[in-house]
Amino acid sequence: MEGSGSLRFLGLEENEEGPWDVAILQIPLEMTTSYGDGTSGGPQSCVEASIQVELFDPMLPNDLPCGARMHTAIPWSSNAPDLRSQLDSIRDYMLPWVNGGAFPLVLGGEHGILLPIMEALKEIPGSDFSELTIVQIDAHADLRDELNGEKYSHGTVIRRSLEAGISSVIQIGVRAYCAEEGALIESDDRIRTWFARDLFPANGDSSKWCEMIASLEEIEGPVWLTFDVDGLDGALVPSTGTPVPGGLSHWGAVEAIERLFCSSKCEVIGADINEIVPDTEGSLTQFSAALVATKIVSCHINELLKRKGGLL
């Protein structure tokens, strides 16, 4: 679990030895992309963009890291010959991080990284994995049984995670899904989907958005936040593999993240930001991802400060 050299998240100085409060993990998986490609370069581009992100967050008393000990780990890599072996390698990479004291923030890579993260969480002795809720911000439902003949695709990862034994999934911003997925959403009471068309109707009615935001405070138990950047409106992430119009604004994402972390009933135990693809012109996609990552870090540090009486 050594550091990754000179490339540090937010450009901060870091402690070379733990314990750490936050671990930035890069998993540049790219094996099942079905439209645009480039996720293998996404995590590093996000870390690079983060160096330009402001360190002030109004919810914190001081600039980041605000007394927290942060660590940018060596990125995952594998020469495994097939997809399932690659996923097993990711599970093994994640095990010491999900079983340690640091909050893991994973930068990906295609959304398929989520399943081996779930498998790593399930292996923790005494794990309350069966009580885990995934909060998913995403344009897509990712509930297919297979995509292009592959059962471990980015488009099947939420279905595979449910099969692995998580308690439930709450989906926010879904607006691209097939009939198979729609039927599963209707029939499976473990799935609660807030569709983008209801959250952002043409008439400007914000009642469903307010209902969704309020519902985040009612989640109980452990939570893993999985944030597919295509959950944002496509104008904010033009290079992600499948940018879709009609998604969350930047400030909508900030509100959802803040409300989730500030809930007194749940504990966000980790998060991933996936489907990051570097822009070929400009840097808006990776910068949008870096802003989301920074907000997650700020929210976690804010919760640490609350628990420790304002001092880290």
pLDDT tens digits, 251-285: 999 999 999 999 889 999 999 999 999 998 889 99
- At a CB cut-off of 8 Å and minimum separation 6, what does 7 contact? 44, 47, 48, 72
Strand partners, 223: 133, 268
Q: Average pLDDT for residues 58-63, to the nearest whole number?
A: 96
Place of tokens 């991080």: 97
Q: Average pLDDT for residues 178-207, to the nearest whole number?
A: 97
Asked whether the predicted pLDDT for residue 298 surpasses 50, the reply is yes
Task: Give the up-direction half-sphere exposure of residue 218: CA atoms within 13 A in the CB hemisphere.
Answer: 6
Token pair for 59: 């919810």
Helices (H), 9-61: 42-50
The amino acid that residue 269 corresponds to is I
pLDDT tens digits, 131-190: 999 999 999 999 999 888 889 888 999 999 999 999 999 999 999 999 999 999 999 999
The pTM score is 0.95
Predicted pLDDT at 4:
45
Domain boundaries defined on the chain: 9-307
Helices (H), the chain: 42-50, 83-98, 114-122, 157-164, 179-187, 196-199, 207-216, 250-262, 284-307
Place of tokens 């911000």: 137
Sorting pLDDT into bands at 50, 70 and 90, what band is 36? low
Asked whether the predicted pLDDT for residue 5 surpasses 80, the reply is no
Task: Give the up-direction half-sphere exposure of residue 29: CA atoms within 13 A in the CB hemisphere.
Answer: 35
Do residues 83 and 27 lie in contact, with contact meaning Cβ atoms separated by under 8 Å?
A: no
Predicted pLDDT at 31:
79
pLDDT tens digits, 118-130: 999 999 998 899 9
Q: Average pLDDT for residues 57-86, to the nearest whole number?
A: 95
Q: What is the mean pLDDT of the chain?
A: 94
Whole-number Å distance between alpha carbons of 41 and 234: 19
Q: Does domain 9-307 have CATH number 3.30.390.30?
A: no
